[in-house]
Amino acid sequence: MKGAAPEFFQFHVSEQLSYTLESFAGKHIALHKLTRAQAVETGKALGEIYRKTEEIPHGLDGFGYLHWTEESGLRGSITGDVRRFLKEESEEHLSDYRELSDARPEFQDAAVNDVLNLAVELRDRGFTQPRLSNQDASPENTLINGTQICLIDPFPNIYYPRGMAGNFMNLYETFFIA
């Protein structure tokens, strides 16, 4: 999506270090200074970038973080059945909640349990195939230039983009606030 990444940057790679220097991409978004309307517009712009990224036909094998070797080239770092992987991952999340609830009864909540199970069911039904996504749209990697949102330092992966969206919402609604 035009404007979603800096038009100009410098890139450096060495055995010890890899980095980019972005220029002319805008300034960091000060989340605490956004009005509700600005926050909604920022969220919509980020969502559009993510949706457009998902549409890119990547044609890569595997899923997970991108990995390159001389033998196989660029591919997802995890091989195997992605549906089975997602099912195991979902079961792990449910198990973690059960373990937390057993250890700390104050966290036991029927509504939370029901919502977690519903989320697992919807995830299973909504998944079609691994798609290209960005795992890191944190505040320090989100710039604004006027009304144009720009993402820097992408952490691309081939995964379930709605999972990345859920992680993003959790970070912004709970973790960053805390």
Among 92, 49, 75, smallest CA distance to 130 is for 75
CA angle 157, 40, 155 (to 5 degrees): 15
**Any domain includes 140:** yes
Specify which of 12-21, 67-76, 151-160, 166-175 reaches the highest per-range mean pLDDT.
Answer: 67-76
What average pLDDT does this structure show over 78-90?
A: 92
**Any domain includes 26:** yes
Q: Tell me the chain's radius of gyration from C-alpha atoms.
A: 19
Confidence of residue 22 (pLDDT cuts 50, 70, 90): low
As for how many domains the chain has, the answer is 1
What average pLDDT does this structure show over 50-62?
A: 91
Domain with 138, as residue range(s), is: 8-80+132-175
Tell me if 25 sits within 8 A of 4, measured CB to CB. no
What are the tens digits of pLDDT across the range 108-151?
A: 999 999 999 998 998 888 888 899 988 877 777 888 877 788 88
Angle between the 82-103 and 110-126 helix axes, to the nearest 10 degrees? 170
**Any domain includes 102:** no
The pLDDT of residue 100: 94
Distances (CA, A) of 77 to 11, 66, 121, 151: 23, 6, 26, 23
**Any domain includes 152:** yes
**Any domain includes 25:** yes
**Any domain includes 87:** no
